[in-house]
Chain A
Amino acid sequence: MDFDPMVMDAEPQGPSVKITDATPHSVDFTLQSVDLSFANSLRRTILAEVPTMAIDLVEIEANTSVLADEFITHRLGLIPLNSKNVDDVVYSRDCDCEQYCELCSVTLTLHARCTGDEIMRVYARDLVVDPLRQNQWVGNPVITDPEGLGTVICKLRKGQELRMKCIAKKGIAKEHAKWAPTSAVGFEYDPQNKLRHTDLWYEESAEKEWPKSKYADWEEPPQEGEPFDYDAVPETFYFEVESVGNLEPDAIIQQGIKVLQQKLAAVIRDLADGEGQTNGINGHGYDAPRSPEDVGMDGAWGQDQGYTTPFGNGNGTQEPQQPWGGSATPYGATPYGQQNGWANGR
């Protein structure tokens, strides 16, 4: 339990997983031998950055229903679409096509007209998927109810009609929640609250008034009068990943891991790339004062003139820079003349 700065050396085997429950649409697992930041980053990527398919563009040919076009469009967007092997589909913005094509999208058509006297419901199953697509799963509406209907899109009265072409694209939930692979990700640690990361409000006794977590029995309850362990860190994390149905729960986690790896790889690439040039021109240390030529020649540093904010020359936004930002002095003192942003900002 001791916090050891060399934890990395102490556990060469790395993170470990124990799956406690799995259903076709959810998986519960325990993550061990990782730290809080690692578990939390995994949670965040799963929630927001796992790519899926969702209807993004709708061409409406006819809509005589009571719902407005954009209302139906929004509803269509929220229908979960199967996203198995979504890696086969490219992002529309990366595709060479004009607007969309079969490489970067899946077309679904909806044509419904009420002819009877009864009120008719239009369901997700009524979406017809164009066979021109990257693989056989991508773009199929997710239908999980026993009747095989899927979600209700709209209700139609006699004579009303819906006719539209929907373009489903690949995206991530950071852009719009319709691309979310999960409806919820449960994340819990320290069910006994030994670390006191939560302060439980109570009238008489927190133990009596607060329900116990289902994971509470899995960890040792604190001993009576046990001293607080200041060095303790959370070590076991209980995840409950619930899929919307577009991806299988294990795929969501694998994709989440992959996305996080790609993020890290991008950092390595950017930093390691510059390494050759930077070392070549610049020698080594950053602490040695560098001549203006050096700065000019070196792409990596030259780009960022000391502490300019990436979002335009400082006005109010400069303020939070201060804690580290004595930097105006060594730089602004103009070895190379241009006092961008800094001097003006004051």
Chain B
Amino acid sequence: MNAPDRFELFLLGDGEKKCSEAPDTRTANSSVFTFNKEDHTLANILRAHLLKNSHVIFAGYKIPHPLFATFELRVQTDGSLTPKEALVNTCRTLVGDLEILSREFTKEFELRKMVMGDAAATENK
């Protein structure tokens, strides 16, 4: 009865931003990014790939409350780039990686289709 609408898990509310940055004033070169309407899918991949950047000292995320579709990603860098730059770079690399994956998959799948021959190809229709 009081259950929130399921679309609140992925639809941004009015005036809500997907991602906003707030500096973490306790330490230098660190920021906390708050993501709205996102979950582990995005959080974990960003966390893991930020850590691959040697200039990133810390990257971790938490979901402050399980009923709200937000997460907070804290990033600390060594100062040679800002946390925001690190995050944007990571996103860009990931988009590129996914693009490669997409191409690779198409290639492999087309190859497979040819190997499978006509029988399967007609079935595939």
- The interface of chain A, by Cβ under 8 A from chain B, is 5-8, 13-19, 22-24, 27, 29, 31, 34-38, 40-42, 44-45, 48-49, 93, 172, 174-176, 248, 250, 253-254, 257-258, 260-261, 263-272, 274-275, 284-287, 300-301, 303-304, 306-307, 309-311, 317, 320-321, 323-324, 326-327, 330-331
Do the beta carbons of A263 and B42 come within 8 Å of each other?
Answer: yes
Do the beta carbons of B109 and A24 come within 8 Å of each other?
Answer: no
Do the beta carbons of A19 and B97 come within 8 Å of each other?
Answer: no
Do the beta carbons of B94 and A264 come within 8 Å of each other?
Answer: yes
Those of B75-125 within 8 Å (CB) of chain A: 82-84, 87-88, 91-102, 104-106, 108-109, 111-113, 116, 120, 123-124
Contacts of B92 in A (CB 8 A): 268
Of A45, A266, A270, which is within 8 A of B20 by CB? Answer: A270
Do the beta carbons of A22 and B109 come within 8 Å of each other?
Answer: yes
Do the beta carbons of B65 and A175 come within 8 Å of each other?
Answer: no
Write 29 A-B pairs (CB below 8 A) sorted by A numbering: A6-B52, A6-B54, A8-B93, A13-B100, A14-B97, A15-B100, A15-B104, A16-B104, A23-B120, A38-B48, A38-B94, A175-B9, A175-B10, A257-B102, A261-B99, A263-B38, A267-B88, A267-B91, A270-B19, A271-B88, A275-B84, A303-B20, A304-B34, A309-B64, A309-B65, A311-B65, A320-B64, A324-B72, A330-B26
CA A267 – CA B88 in complex, angstroms?
A: 8
CB-CB under 8 A for A257 and B101, given A49-B41, A175-B7: yes
Of A41, A285, A309, which is within 8 A of B41 by CB? Answer: A41
Contacts of A18 in B (CB 8 A): 108
By Cβ-Cβ distance, the 3 closest A-B pairs, closest first, are A286-B23, A37-B48, A14-B100
Contacts between the two chains (Cβ within 8 Å), count: 194
- The interface of chain B, by Cβ under 8 A from chain A, is 6-7, 9-11, 17-26, 28-36, 38, 40-42, 44-49, 51-54, 62, 64-65, 68, 70, 72, 74, 82-84, 87-88, 91-102, 104-106, 108-109, 111-113, 116, 120, 123-124
Do the beta carbons of A266 and B19 come within 8 Å of each other?
Answer: yes
Contacts of A19 in B (CB 8 A): 108-109, 111-112
Contacts of B64 in A (CB 8 A): 309, 317, 320-321
Contacts of A267 in B (CB 8 A): 18-19, 35, 42, 46, 87-88, 91
Of A8, A257, A321, A327, which is within 8 A of B98 by CB? Answer: A257
CA A330 – CA B17 in complex, angstroms?
A: 24
Do the beta carbons of A37 and B25 come within 8 Å of each other?
Answer: no
Of B10, B25, B49, which is within 8 A of A287 by CB? Answer: B25
Contacts of A303 in B (CB 8 A): 17, 20
Contacts of B108 in A (CB 8 A): 17-19, 29
Contacts of A17 in B (CB 8 A): 101, 104-105, 108
Contacts of B74 in A (CB 8 A): 324
20 extra interchain contacts, Cβ-Cβ under 8 A, other than A37-B44, A44-B40, A49-B10?
A13-B100, A15-B101, A19-B108, A24-B120, A37-B45, A38-B97, A40-B44, A49-B41, A248-B124, A257-B105, A260-B98, A267-B46, A268-B88, A270-B20, A285-B29, A286-B30, A301-B22, A304-B22, A320-B64, A330-B26
Do the beta carbons of A307 and B18 come within 8 Å of each other?
Answer: no
Do the beta carbons of B96 and A14 come within 8 Å of each other?
Answer: yes
Tell me the minimal C-beta distance from B22 to chain A in angstroms: 5
Contacts of B105 in A (CB 8 A): 17, 29, 250, 253-254, 257
Contacts of B124 in A (CB 8 A): 24, 248
Of A5, A16, A31, which is within 8 A of B52 by CB? Answer: A5
Of A44, A261, A301, A330, which is within 8 A of B21 by CB? Answer: A301
CA A240 – CA B26 in complex, angstroms?
A: 46
Contacts of A285 in B (CB 8 A): 28-29, 82
